[in-house]
Amino acid sequence: MVGNKMRVAMWYNNRDVRVEEMPVPQIGTGELLVRVEACGICGSDVMEWYRLDRAPLVLGHEVGGQVVAVGKGVERYQEGDRVSAAHHVPCNTCHYCLSGHHTVCDTLRRTNFYPGGLAEYIRLPAINVDRGVFRLPDEVSYEEATFIEPLSCVLRGQRLASMQPGKSVLVIGSGISGLLHVQLARNLGAGKVIATDISDYRLNAAKRLGADTAFSGREDIPTRVRQVNDGRLADLVIVCTGATSAFTQALESVERGGTVLFFAATGPDVIIPISINELFWRNEITLTSSYAGSPADHEEALELISSGAIPVKQMITHRISLEETGLGFQLVVEARDSIKVIVEPQR
């Protein structure tokens, strides 16, 4: 039985997250009401510059939960279904979608579920129900479901960066996205997977999760890469930290004919100088970026998790209650002895 009120973690800033009450969302035609059982805190959730002008907000978009109410006209889902959901979904008909760039679609950038995953319940609008709800197989837990969205982003990034078997891969930054990139590159047959970070805790995690070599980001990265990669730089460099130094390291660490994938965001005013002659004229370097994941990427991510190909559960370091969400934000901000922090609103 769903009551009239629910608890949410209301974000004012990274040091001020309050548990507040608000009405349980009312659903309309084509919509679903989902009880949130688990929600991950994403690195993008703690980017204050990106969100402060819209605060207070209920954040959270990496969700696993159970359908508790079904709107008129919904036929594919029923009460009791275990699901995950994409918070952004594309139109599938615009210029961008038809050219394969679903995640830059205007519709995708306007859509969202309400109010956010760090709440006891969320309302899924009809367009999300139509193309962004994923029924969970029995072998996928709610907490594992919180990895579907971040893994979909990683899948899209490596596809746009033309990841192929045999390539050497350097992942700069071994937080949750970096570690997912390490695991996916290994799964896709990378010839060598190298990871960096400034945290020994995360470097050890990278080794445990599939990196052949992991070393401090404070070292001379190009020299260290050559030492462990038969004298060559990396064919694919993936930047998974917003530190400005990482972007410079990436440009210095990519092999001729290679690709740099800018996966993480920097601060809003960061500008990176690039030598056109050195990178492009003779060396055929490709610089690319990726944003979010499409519904098809979510489906593929779910399959990788369901099959055990990407063992995401071992990346969970903290499981906390809704009342502890403020602590969760601090763990993610500090980026020390934590990898994946999951909030359990029903606890």
Chain-wide mean pLDDT for the chain?
A: 96
Tell me what pLDDT residue 267 has.
85
In the predicted model, is pLDDT for residue 336 greater than 90?
no
- Taking the domain 162-289, which CATH number applies? 3.40.50.720
Tell me what pLDDT residue 193 has.
98
Tell me what pLDDT residue 276 has.
87
What are the structural domain ranges in the chain?
5-150+292-344, 162-289
What would the mean pLDDT of 4-16 be, rounded to a whole number?
A: 97
Evaluate whether 249 touches 143 at the Cβ level (below 8 Å): no
Residue 12 CB neighbours (<10 A): 12
25-51: pLDDT as tens digits = 999 999 999 999 999 999 999 999 999
The amino acid that residue 171 corresponds to is V
pTM: predicted TM-score of the whole model, two decimal places: 0.96
Tell me what pLDDT residue 10 has.
98
The amino acid that residue 156 corresponds to is R
In the predicted model, is pLDDT for residue 11 greater than 80?
yes
In the predicted model, is pLDDT for residue 57 greater than 90?
yes
What would the mean pLDDT of 4-18 be, rounded to a whole number?
A: 97
Evaluate whether 244 touches 171 at the Cβ level (below 8 Å): no
DSSP of 91-149: -SSSHHHHTT-GGG-HHHHH---BS-SSBSEEEE-HHHHHHSEEEPPTTS-HHHHTTHH
Q: Do the bridges between strand 121-124 and strand 168-172 make them parallel or antiparallel, or are there none, so unpaired? A: unpaired
Tell me what pLDDT residue 335 has.
87
Tell whether domain 5-150+292-344 is in CATH 3.90.180.10.
Answer: yes
Give the percent of the chain with pLDDT over 70: 100
186-237: pLDDT as tens digits = 999 999 999 999 999 999 999 999 999 999 999 999 999 999 999 999 999 9
Q: Which of 199, 236, 205, 242 is nearest to 218 (CA)?
A: 199
Tell me what pLDDT residue 12 has.
98
What would the mean pLDDT of 306-331 be, rounded to a whole number?
A: 97
In the predicted model, is pLDDT for residue 275 greater than 90?
no
Structure tokens at 237: 């460099």
In the predicted model, is pLDDT for residue 1 greater than 80?
no
Structure tokens at 255: 């092999």
Q: Do the bridges between strand 234-239 and strand 213-216 make them parallel or antiparallel, or are there none, so unpaired? A: unpaired
Tell me what pLDDT residue 273 has.
86
